[in-house]
Amino acid sequence: MPAIFPRWTNNIPLVVALAGPVVGAGLVGGVWYFFSPKFTDVGYRPVQPVPFSHKLHAGDMGMDCRYCHNTVERAAHAAIPATQTCMNCHKDLVKTDSPKLKLIRDSYESDQPVPWIRVHQLPDYAYFDHRPHLAAGVGCASCHGRIDQMAVVQMSQPLSMGWCLDCHRDPEPNLRPLDQITNMAWDSALEKYDPKADSARVRAVNPPEHCSGCHR
Amino acid sequence: MTRVNLIHAALLGALGAGLVGCQGNRSDVPPVHLIQNMDFQKRFDPQESNDFFRARDCADEVAAEDAAVAEAVAKGEHPPLVERTCWARAMRPPPFGTVAVGHLKDDDHLHRGRGTDGRLADSLPRAIELSEALMKRGEQRYNIYCQPCHDYTGGGQGIATLRGGGFKIQPPSYHIDRLRAMPLGYFYEVITNGKGTMGSYAAQIPAEDRWAIAVWVRTLQVSRTKGGK
């Protein structure tokens, strides 16, 4: 009587024993690496409708972030500047008829918003407010990277819950003097800053680690 | 045989990983939300667009779209895909002339820089007190909002004025006799309403900070006339 299983099936247990762990580890590793916001989110760099460059305005010309994102210390949302803000310079003073600024001029005339594409976006169930962070002396660069070197804004941090908590559990290394929050070049390694010894601070910072702090 | 397959599989895996890239790669593809959950809820965030108001804000474009669709339908064709250029705001701009509670701005001195006689005031409004903190605030705000054009010392040679072919009109120095003679309220008024080619900064800077900046401008002037120079 012929064998029910051909001879090669003898190898199955061996192959499964050898390949199983490899495939399993590959799957786990793949999920760990590719499903992380460090992969899905970091580096997102949409093409904006107007080729506005932070490298030129904030980097080379050294404009303070708050000239344009002027609500950042006053509201949860760090507003994208109104067209009027660009027109302070581009209406009568400089590059007044650059083709790159056509959309800005159109928007100024028609009073329609410029359709800037949003780069950073938390899920709607997470609560974030710029104010307490800036009041505590966390710099823009800690969360947005070296914006002053970006010709096109890109996400440089994953904005994941783990990332928020890493800082909330140990905020001290990320704190800086309160008047340096928009200074992109401020380097904690060089400055040896001690928040506890800073007389401008009225209280110790206390970031929430309980769920309802960020899921309200 | 199995060894060759394994090598193939490994190569295929490596190729796949290579194709999708590494962590932190630049990309203009929006972040993938692997598990949607409640990431995007039926609500509007600040500065988002809202199609509900399109018919009103983008009447021209909507009419053009409707006409294009009607034409295609009449011809029995597929309606064309039109690229949008107009978006309606979810944050509705208030109707013209609306005044929010507590924002009547009825203090002429604080909000218009003018005294009861209607002339520009040369003093701070009563609600604001001259102090070191006020001057520090003024310096900081000046360096944010004015320094790009007027430079740190008020000479009118700010870095933005020197680039891209230069400004069509150079800001004046604060240290000319005409501006030295101006009352404090004048600087407040220029910041609030703009002057000539300089735009209004009322939307960017709250009234209290505008006074702090005016104080700093005066400080810069005084530093060159008394003691300095």
pLDDT digits (tens, 9 = 90+) for B139-163: 999 999 999 999 999 999 999 998 8
Query: Whose structure tokens read 């305005």?
Result: A57
d(CA A21, CA B74): 63
Band of pLDDT at residue B17, cut at 50, 70 and 90 = low
d(CA A123, CA B142): 36
d(CA B207, CA A202): 26
Query: Whose structure tokens read 């507590």?
Result: B102
| Alpha carbon of A3: minimum distance to chain B alpha carbons (Å) | 22
pLDDT surpassing 70 at residue B6? no
State the ipTM, two decimals.
0.84
Query: CA nearest A179: which of A167, A171, A191?
Result: A191
pLDDT in tens, B49-64: 888 888 888 888 888 8
Give the tokens for residue B211: 């006074």
CB B161 within 8 A of CB B149: yes
For helices B207-225 and B132-145, what crossing angle results, to 10°?
Answer: 100
Give the tokens for residue A19: 């390949």
Q: For the stretch A163-174, what's the b/e string if a residue is b when 16 or more beta carbons lie within 10 angstroms of its beta carbon?
A: bbeebbeebeeb
Query: CA nearest A42: which of A144, A173, A133, A115?
Result: A144
Residues of A in contact with B86 (CB under 8 A): 112
d(CA B176, CA B197): 19
**What is the three-class DSSP state of B198?**
strand
Give the tokens for residue B100: 């929010």
Give the start-to-end residue ranges of the domains of chain B: 45-94, 108-223
Query: CA nearest A174: which of A189, A156, A161?
Result: A189
Give the tokens for residue A124: 């709607």
SS3 string, A37-91, reads HHHHCCCECCCCCCCCCHHHHHHHCCCCHHHHCCCCCCCCCCCCCCHHHHHHHHC
For B136, name the nearest residue in chain A, comparing CA atoms only. A179
Query: CA nearest A72: which of A129, A118, A119, A149?
Result: A129
d(CA B220, CA B137): 14
Which residue among B27, B49, B197 places its CB closest to the CB of A93? B197
Give the tokens for residue B85: 């250029």
d(CA A190, CA A159): 26
CB atoms within 10 A of CB A123: 15
C-alpha distance across the termini of chain B, in Å: 90
Name every residue whose Cβ is closer than 8 Å to that of residue A205 and which is 6 or more positions away in sequence: A136, A137, A171, A175, A195
CB atoms within 10 A of CB B185: 23
Band of pLDDT at residue B44, cut at 50, 70 and 90 = confident
Q: For the stretch B107-132, what's the b/e string if a residue is b when 16 or more beta carbons lie within 10 angstroms of its beta carbon?
A: eebbbbbbbeeeebbeebbeebeeee
Backbone φ and ψ for A94, nearest 5 degrees, come out as -145, 140
Could you tell me which residue, B66 or B229, shows the higher pLDDT?
B66
Which residue among B27, B86, B140 places its CB closest to the CB of A112? B86
Name every residue whose Cβ is closer than 8 Å to that of residue A53 and which is 6 or more positions away in sequence: A150, A151, A152
What's the pTM?
A: 0.90
Q: Which of residues 124-183 of B touch A (CB under 8 A)?
A: 140, 143-145, 148-149, 159-161, 163-169
> Does any CB of chain A come closer than 8 Å to the CB of residue B50?
no
Under-50 pLDDT residues of chain A:
none
Share of chain B above pLDDT 90, in %: 31
Q: Which of residues 68-87 of B touch A (CB under 8 A)?
A: 84-87
**What is the three-class DSSP state of A114?**
coil
Band of pLDDT at residue B229, cut at 50, 70 and 90 = very low
Give the tokens for residue B53: 């108001």
Query: Whose structure tokens read 């409708």?
Result: A49
pLDDT surpassing 80 at residue B13? no
* Rg of chain B (C-alpha set): 29
Which residue among B40, B47, B165 places its CB closest to the CB of A79? B47
The three-point CA angle B171-A72-B109 to 5° equals 55
Query: CA nearest A41: which of A149, A127, A155?
Result: A155
So what CATH class is B108-223?
Answer: mainly alpha
For B205, name the nearest residue in chain A, comparing CA atoms only. A70
